[in-house]
């Protein structure tokens, strides 16, 4: 794919064409200046939504029937295109989100690396979980049939772009990459906060579809300033799964829509988290200053607009005063920080004010968020509360999306287990401790295993490694399904289902299940893993 300048059209990409302009319009907005950006964008019409889904449905059998090598080459072509257009994509994303260029360049690299990783997975092929139990005609009292099973693609997937990751969790992000890797056509609903970035990335994918010789319906991109397009997508009978990263309210609404359909479908919603962090006594005594510095850097990273931000910090009461003093000084020196949109900044300041007004927790550092003339900015804030008060007010566990955290003072270390048992589901939990602390924290660790998808030790949860073992998920309300992940190669499992073939002629079986293992993949043959 040659690096040529892509002109923004402002209209949806339906299959291999640029759709016509609709009636409803909106603009991308520069959050640092409040200025509207050109061009004008047009929300997709009902006809365009239906066409995109029908094209996806028509392309499903051909696309899901491609080989792992063919899909791997397609994913690599997308990654190459993103790299070639990287300068333009990052420049537009910077203008639409206010995120710094180094952060966006890193996010672009993560996005291309993610695509390459899924390409490796599908090219190798063992991900299909092929299982074969051969027939035994001599078995008594009844003959044993030949039974074979593997994972097969679900069908067209609706993907929702996220506000805080314009690349890694948006048009070509992890949900799209894993769905395409599974053999599922994708219809993306672009996030209205970065429509220009979305179109630039969408054009790269659209071109990769064509250059790969795939059906046009493998990918479409739909614009919308509000929620109407998303609602129509989830309701459409041609959509077979939904992937969403965003707010709890938005995720719950999509879950209801998916469940209320005539044919209910899975809705994989990642809905945020407060990510409790536990500082054990030995660690607090040994490295209080370092812990305060690391915590501040983590909960204010990206103006706190990460779903993995540590929003609950449990620390021993005898050391929390000096710990809080150090954080207070650091937070006060930060000043205003840019936020993604005026709407996010407004919600942040309202949530901070509401928490301070209710008085359940003491505001010990920070100033009001400023939203002026459409410019989004916010100041970091710090709250403090006793463990008893925290346990008595469930609202304190809820996420505030922005640069704030809550310090929770506990007395005896044993109190932490009781506190952890009362937590609802989160994406992560972190334990800071000495070797002795952690050796004695077995019960706390066991409880946290039931509450989160990832337990960290002596680190910070902001930052998610894209790898085979990663789990970015957790029990409700962090996600809609704690058995899945939206980051890492296991994310592909969301968009497949097992299909069994009994006594099927060899020539009619998927190649992964035939008697001759020509692909050389790992298979469970009569209960034994083998490449034979």
* Residue reference for tokens 């609950």: 312
3-state secondary structure of 23: coil
Respond yes or no: is residue 389 known to be catalytic: no
DSSP state of 477: T
513 alpha carbon, distance to own chain's centre? 32
- The helix (H) or strand (E) run that includes residue 17 is strand 17-18
Q: Which of 270, 358, 436, 512 is catalytic?
A: 270
Q: Are 208 and 78 in contact (CB under 8 A)?
A: yes
Cα(414)–Cα(419) distance, integer angstroms? 9
| Residue 94, both tokens | 């910077």
Q: Are 54 and 64 in contact (CB under 8 A)?
A: no
Q: Which of 96, 307, 399, 512 is catalytic?
A: 307
- The helix (H) or strand (E) run that includes residue 378 is strand 375-379
Q: How far is CA 103 from CA 57, 88, 93, 192, 321, in A?
A: 36, 15, 11, 20, 34
226 class by beta-carbon count within 10 Å (0-12 exposed, 13-18 middle, 19+ buried) = exposed
At residue 42, φ and ψ (nearest 5 deg) are -115, 125
Cα(395)–Cα(400) distance, integer angstroms? 10
DSSP state of 216: G
Respond yes or no: is residue 96 known to be catalytic: no
52 alpha carbon, distance to own chain's centre? 23
Cα(135)–Cα(395) distance, integer angstroms? 58
3-state secondary structure of 375: strand
Q: Are 95 and 30 in contact (CB under 8 A)?
A: yes
- The helix (H) or strand (E) run that includes residue 36 is strand 36-42
| Residue 150, both tokens | 């593997």
3-state secondary structure of 343: helix
Q: Are 500 and 151 in contact (CB under 8 A)?
A: no
What are the residues whose beta carbons fall under 8 Å from the beta carbon of 425, sequence distance 6 or more?
273, 451, 452, 474, 475, 476, 477, 478, 479, 482
| Residue 90, both tokens | 């990052």
Cα(523)–Cα(132) distance, integer angstroms? 7
- Residues marked active site are found at 270, 307
């Amino acid at each position: 794919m040659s690096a040529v300048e892509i002109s923004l059209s402002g209209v949806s990409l339906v299959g291999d064409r640029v759709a016509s302009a609709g009636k409803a319009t909106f603009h991308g907005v520069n959050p640092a200046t409040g200025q509207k950006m050109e061009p004008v964008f047009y929300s997709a019409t009902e006809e365009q939504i239906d066409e995109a889904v029908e094209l996806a449905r028509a392309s499903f059998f051909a696309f899901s029937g491609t080989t792992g090598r063919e899909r791997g080459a397609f994913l690599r072509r997308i990654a190459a295109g993103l790299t070639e257009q990287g300068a333009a994509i990052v420049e537009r994303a910077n203008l639409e989100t206010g995120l710094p260029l180094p952060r966006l360049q890193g996010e672009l690299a993560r996005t291309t690396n993610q695509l390459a990783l899924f390409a490796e997975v599908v090219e190798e092929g063992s991900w299909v979980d092929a299982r074969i139990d051969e027939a035994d005609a001599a078995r008594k009292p009844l003959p044993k049939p030949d039974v074979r099973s593997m994972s097969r693609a679900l069908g067209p997937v609706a993907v929702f772009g996220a506000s805080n990751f314009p690349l890694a969790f948006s048009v070509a992000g992890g949900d799209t990459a894993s769905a395409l890797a599974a053999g599922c056509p994708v219809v993306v609903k672009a996030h209205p906060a970065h429509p220009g970035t979305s179109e630039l990335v969408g054009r790269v994918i659209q071109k990769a579809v064509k250059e790969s010789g795939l059906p046009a319906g493998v990918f479409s991109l739909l614009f919308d300033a509000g929620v109407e397009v998303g609602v129509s997508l989830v309701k459409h009978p041609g959509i077979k799964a939904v992937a969403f990263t965003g707010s709890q309210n938005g995720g719950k609404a999509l879950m209801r829509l998916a469940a209320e359909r005539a044919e209910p479908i899975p809705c994989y919603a990642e809905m945020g988290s407060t990510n409790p962090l536990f500082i054990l006594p030995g660690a607090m005594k040994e490295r209080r200053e370092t812990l305060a510095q690391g915590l501040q850097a983590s909960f204010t990273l990206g103006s706190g607009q990460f779903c993995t931000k540590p929003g609950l910090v449990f620390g021993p009461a005898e050391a929390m005063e000096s710990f809080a003093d150090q954080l207070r000084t650091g937070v006060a020196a930060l000043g205003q920080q840019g936020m993604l949109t005026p709407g996010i900044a407004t919600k942040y300041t309202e949530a901070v004010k509401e928490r301070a007004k209710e008085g359940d927790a003491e505001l010990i550092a920070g100033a009001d968020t400023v939203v002026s003339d459409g410019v989004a900015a916010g100041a970091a804030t710090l709250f403090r509360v006793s463990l008893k008060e925290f346990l008595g007010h469930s609202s304190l566990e809820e996420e505030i999306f922005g640069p704030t955290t809550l310090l929770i003072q506990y007395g005896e270390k044993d109190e932490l287990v009781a506190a952890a048992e009362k937590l609802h589901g989160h994406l992560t939990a972190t334990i800071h401790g000495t070797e002795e602390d952690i050796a004695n924290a077995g019960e706390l660790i066991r409880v946290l295993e039931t509450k989160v998808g990832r337990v960290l030790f002596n680190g910070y949860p902001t930052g998610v490694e894209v790898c085979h073992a990663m789990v970015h998920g957790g029990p409700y309300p962090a996600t809609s399904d704690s058995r899945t992940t939206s980051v890492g190669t296991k994310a592909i499992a969301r968009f497949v289902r097992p299909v069994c073939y009994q006594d099927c002629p060899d020539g009619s079986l998927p190649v992964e299940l035939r008697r001759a293992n020509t692909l050389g993949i790992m298979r469970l043959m009569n209960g034994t893993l083998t490449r034979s």
